[in-house]
Amino acid sequence: MVSTSNGLYSERRTPVTVVERFLAHYGVKGMKWGVRRKRSPSEPVHGDAKRTKRVVGRARNSGTDAISNRDLQAAITRMNLEQQYNRLRPKSNSEKAKAWVAETLLGIGKDQAARVGREVAAEQVGNLLKKAK
């Protein structure tokens, strides 16, 4: 686009409308509306992780009889290593907050359940005492 003293003109010297000046396209040319592209992972997945995922999927679908002992042992070792890593790595703030919220809600739920249980028990005992008189 070229700016002149008379206003904005496109490359071919035709007047550019206000809409054309402010309209911007931020999508991918040729993409359909509402369709998302597959995002490539930021880091490539290691072969061991791919193999473990495939073995676990096969075990889930066909049972452990469809897997060799070596593949099953490798998958178990990989899953154990991942669990140990997740236990040992420092938790992010969002993970800490999520755990705190879950713990707090669980505590509140237990307190409310105990309170309701006491009220129901007291009511039932009161009803039994009324019947006994």
Q: What is the 3-state secondary structure (H, E, C) of 45-108?
A: CCHHHHHHHHHHHHHHHHCHHHCCHHHHHHHHHHHHHHHHHHHHCCCCHHHHHHHHHHHHHHHH
Confidence class for position 33, pLDDT limits 50, 70, 90: confident
Residue 97 token pair: 């907050």
The answer to the question of residue 18 being in a domain is: no
Q: Please state, in angstroms and rounded to a whole number, the distance separating the CA atoms of residues 10 and 13.
A: 5
Instruction: Tell me how many domains the chain contains.
Output: 1
Residue 43 token pair: 């880091």
Confidence class for position 73, pLDDT limits 50, 70, 90: very high
Is residue 80 within 8 A of residue 88, CB to CB? The reply is no
Model pLDDT for residues 86-116, shown as the tens digit of each residue: 999 988 999 999 999 999 999 999 999 999 9
Nearest to 74 by CA among 38, 35, 47: 47
pLDDT at residue 58 greater than cutoff 70: yes
The answer to the question of residue 24 being in a domain is: no
pLDDT at residue 10 greater than cutoff 60: no
The answer to the question of residue 70 being in a domain is: no
The answer to the question of residue 20 being in a domain is: no
Give burial (CB, 10 Å; 0-12/13-18/19+) of 56.
middle
Confidence class for position 35, pLDDT limits 50, 70, 90: confident
The answer to the question of residue 121 being in a domain is: yes
For residue 24, the model assigns a pLDDT of: 61
For residue 22, the model assigns a pLDDT of: 61
For residue 27, the model assigns a pLDDT of: 67
The answer to the question of residue 36 being in a domain is: no
The answer to the question of residue 57 being in a domain is: no
The answer to the question of residue 100 being in a domain is: yes
pLDDT at residue 11 greater than cutoff 80: no
Q: 132 or 16: which carries more pLDDT confidence?
A: 132
pLDDT averaged over every residue in the chain: 82
A 10 A CB-CB count for 52 gives 20
pLDDT at residue 36 greater than cutoff 60: yes
Instruction: Find the domain containing 114 and state its range.
Output: 92-133
